[in-house]
Amino acid sequence: MKTIVIYKSRSGFTKQYATWIQEELCCDMTELKKHDQSLLLSYDTIIYGAGLYAVGINGISFIKDNFDKIKDKKIVVFTTGATPRRAHTIEEIKEANFTKEQQEHIRFFYLRGGFDFNKLSLLHKFMMMLMKMKLKMKKDKDADVKGMLNAYAHPADFTNKKNINEIIDYVRQFS
């Protein structure tokens, strides 16, 4: 079974997971901006990974725009974010990014990545500063809010190679 990992990474967390997946599956890997879409059809399994930005998966239009061409293949999408993995969060991400039909064909995974304010573009820094102001105004700050506020000054990296095990097991069941 021919497999490719395609990723889009701004801070390096998604790239780290994509690299670990590629190593475990001994498959091809490419960055989204370097990928030739005409080659997409030559793969049996397509794994796409990208960061999460306000429940939106970065670059997910790549999968959505090509969905009709690839829906008969094994499609895996993973996203990385700074918040802990929770069932309600995963459902919210799926609902915000995929139609019902796409959800039936795409196996989705959420992997905890991290947050490094210094690696963001100027636009994303501005957006994250707005979020920081909103978080600071909260009266009752739970552990997630406190952790996120702390991450602005102290980058947080929650990547862990064990987090890819579910993806590896899922893909290997079709080999």
The residue ranking higher by pLDDT, 91 or 40, is 91
Phi, psi angle pair for 139, to nearest 5°: -75, -50
> Please, are residues 105 and 66 in contact by the beta-carbon 8 Å criterion?
no
The residue ranking higher by pLDDT, 46 or 115, is 46
Confidence of residue 118 (pLDDT cuts 50, 70, 90): confident
> Please, are residues 8 and 78 in contact by the beta-carbon 8 Å criterion?
no
Look at residue 99 in the predicted model and tell me its pLDDT.
Answer: 96
56-94 per-position pLDDT tens digit: 899 999 999 999 999 999 999 999 988 888 898 899 999
pLDDT at 36 over 80: no
1-31 per-position pLDDT tens digit: 899 999 999 889 999 999 999 999 999 999 9
State how far the alpha carbon of 119 is from the alpha carbons of 21, 88, 96, 128, 129, in Å. Answer: 23, 28, 26, 12, 14
Nearest to 75 by CA among 63, 84, 85, 86: 63
- Classify residue 113 by burial, with Cβ atoms within 10 Å: 0-12, 13-18, 19+: buried
Write down the CATH number for the domain with range 3-116+157-172: 3.40.50.360
**Lowest model confidence (mean pLDDT) among 75-79, 126-130, 159-163:** 126-130
Q: Count of residues for the chain?
A: 175
Look at residue 84 in the predicted model and tell me its pLDDT.
Answer: 85
Strands 106-112 and 156-157, bridge-based pairing:
unpaired
Tell me, what amino acid is at 143?
A
| DSSP label at residue 37 | G
139-160 per-position pLDDT tens digit: 999 888 888 888 888 888 999 9
* Domain boundaries of the chain, sorted by first residue: 3-116+157-172, 117-154
pTM of the model: 0.88
Distance CA 44, CA 55 (A): 28
- Classify residue 79 by burial, with Cβ atoms within 10 Å: 0-12, 13-18, 19+: buried
Confidence of residue 41 (pLDDT cuts 50, 70, 90): confident
Look at residue 31 in the predicted model and tell me its pLDDT.
Answer: 94
